[in-house]
Amino acid sequence: MRATSAASLSFLLSLASTLSAVSLVAKPDAHARSASDRPNTPNVITASSGELEITNKVIAPDGYARRASLAGGSFPGPLIKAQKGDNFSINVINKLQDPTMDLTTTIHWHGIFQNRSNWADGVSFVTQCPIQPNQKFLYQFNADDQTGTYWYHSHHALQYCDGVRGPLVIYDPDDPHAHMYDVDDETTVITLSDWYHQTSRKLTQPYTPNATLINGLGRHMGGPMSPLSVFSVDHGTRYRFRIVGASCDAWFNFTIDGHKMTIIEVDGVETIPVEVDSLPVLAGQRYSVVVTADRPVGNYWIRALPSIGNQTFDHGLNSAVLRYAGAPIQDPTTKQGPFVAPFEESQLHPLNNPGAPGVPELGKADVNINLVPGFNNGFTINGRHFLPPPAPVLLQMLSGARHPSELLPSGSVYELPRNKVIEINMPATDLNPGGAIGGPHGIHLHGHAFHVIRTSTNSTPNFVNPVKRDTVSMGSQAQTSNITFRFVTNNAGPWILHCHIDFHLFSGFGVVMAEAPEAAAVQQSGVVPADWRMLCPAPILKATAIFNTTGEFDLAAFNITTNAPRPNATSVVMTSSHNPNASGPIITTSQSPNATGSLTIPAGASTISASTTRPNTTSYNTPANFSTTGFNATSSNTMTTGSLNVSSSTISPSYSSVIHTLY
């Protein structure tokens, strides 16, 4: 999964160079304000014809230089902008070279439902194999009628902790809240990120970040007075700030000194406006807030207090600047608080279609699932660590696997029937009596937004107008809370549900919801592009032929059948072994008596036969077990499905075989 060569670590780029952007041109946007001097304007690419190069680079966003993995050459990556209904076409090119970090990659489009395009969800070993170095992959999808604030990030190992993350916005020309603000453009997008001075592979628990970055800039304890992000405003103007929780671990309490915030959108869902003066933002969550620049002209601190790390604002840590036009260019001197309108998640109500689906009673949905998180040498759900399977779950479905007993990872896949109301309950207590897993954890479900009928801070069910979102807080400081949410299975495919603290997912905190597997296989088989199949390395087929005999026999033939033609010829090597207690040589495979043990799959072939004979019969003592242990192709082409059938010409007295699916 990880490849070779490294770029030199011997040089450090200047700060200006490290913060430089790749040249990317934005499509004209009806929401952009007139030209003005706005610091830290992000790079922008358009969703309909974008390109993201994933590269390694030395950056020093908080004054400390380290190598990073970046999307589009910057941190955060370029803002991807779209209009409602646009087709997305983003070509991701893997140019990673630094072996101290992951060299394969994917891009997940967080919050986009990927209806009919599950293959483009970008989750390593759930919906695709990762993109190999020096390879590229074109993500093409349509977000239908979705609008709002989203983001994209690598969904492979811990890679986004090393920098592969950026914002994504779908603008709505008919936004029902448009009358509430004057400015909504690339300069009002705010990303909140934790940052580490070590690469993700070198980090050890408790994974404490060194800095908070707001739009990719910040300061670290004991470091230089590095530049901070500055958001310029004009007095009397109303701004829609789109806040993205692009954190790897920490959550942030977000505030702007002297200014209230009115929430109008949560995770892409328009909400009834709610005024707050502080806003907790977990990893994966997004909010749109309206802020009116109605205070005296000056500089005001924007603060993002992290849940872990250096919890101070001294010397501009964990901060950015709100600067009114005409104010001096200097750090603010404003003070924080007091807070009189704290945030409560249960205060949020959808603007449209507010009711939760199904019977308005706990446990009365069509399907009710209790997912109990735990910790036992890593995180678990219902006692199982989530481990990436050897083949993507979607590929397993396309290969004929349907039932959870057939799908890997074993015990971490839940089958959901189509067009049913699903209720998920997640208690914040451990499987061990009296244990707890802490919190809060941002629980994110791919493929859906869901109705949160019980929040982590309010145990009273709300079926009338519960908050609707795709990433919800689970667990509280009290560690006694449950969350319960509902959604309808109207989007066939495998969708991962996981904690968005990336270290927690990496250590097992996730499951896969296999939504209508039969429908998913039929639907996706017609739309999966050929390049998607080519992402996976050569397949491995494991099958076992067991012979229980005291007599003599010849093994006559192996017949390998695939359900899909291979586009190119491939050399395949088959090996076999026998029980250590049996006598005689190991069986070898060949196309002819003089062959070397490899067989060629011709272009377009769907059935291949290889004769395996023993020139000299040999007696074996009971039991004698012969196993074909591998089917290892040397090509990057993928045999999508298949089976191995073993027959023999003479076996006495009995024979049986076990067939495994080829992915």
Q: Which residues does 641 contact at the CB level (< 8 Å), separation at least 6? A: 398, 399, 400, 562, 563, 564, 661, 662, 663
The owner of tokens 């109500």 is 349
What residue type is assigned to position 369 of the chain? I
Distances (CA, A) of 286 to 254, 396, 443, 573: 12, 33, 13, 50
DSSP letter (8 states) at residue 22: -
Cα separation, 537 vs 138, whole angstroms: 18
Full 3-state SS string of 190-242: EEEEEECCCCCCCCCCCCCCCEEEECCECCECCCCCCCCCEEEECCCCEEEEE
What residue type is assigned to position 201 of the chain? R
Whether residue 424 contacts residue 369, with contact meaning beta carbons closer than 8 Å, is answered with yes
Taken as a whole, the chain contains a residue count of 663
Closest CA to 619 of 652, 576, 654, 580: 652
Bridge partners (DSSP) listed for residue 642: 562
Percent of residues in the chain assigned helix, strand, coil, to nearest 5: 10, 40, 55
SS3 334: coil
End-to-end CA distance of the chain: give it in Å, rounded: 17
**Quick one: CA torsion of 579, 580, 583, 584, rounded to 10 degrees?**
80
Catalytic machinery residues: 108, 110, 153, 155, 441, 444, 446, 498-501, 504, 509
SS3 118: helix
The owner of tokens 């309206």 is 290
Distances (CA, A) of 632 to 538, 574, 627, 638: 7, 7, 15, 11
- At CA 289, angle to CA 286 and CA 295, rounded to 5? 145
Cis upstream peptide for 76 (omega within 30°): yes
Q: What phi-psi label fits residue 177: left (phi over 0), alpha (psi between -120 and 50 degrees) or beta? A: alpha
Q: What phi-psi label fits residue 596: left (phi over 0), alpha (psi between -120 and 50 degrees) or beta? A: alpha
Cα separation, 552 vs 550, whole angstroms: 7
- φ, ψ of residue 575 in degrees (nearest 5): -125, 160
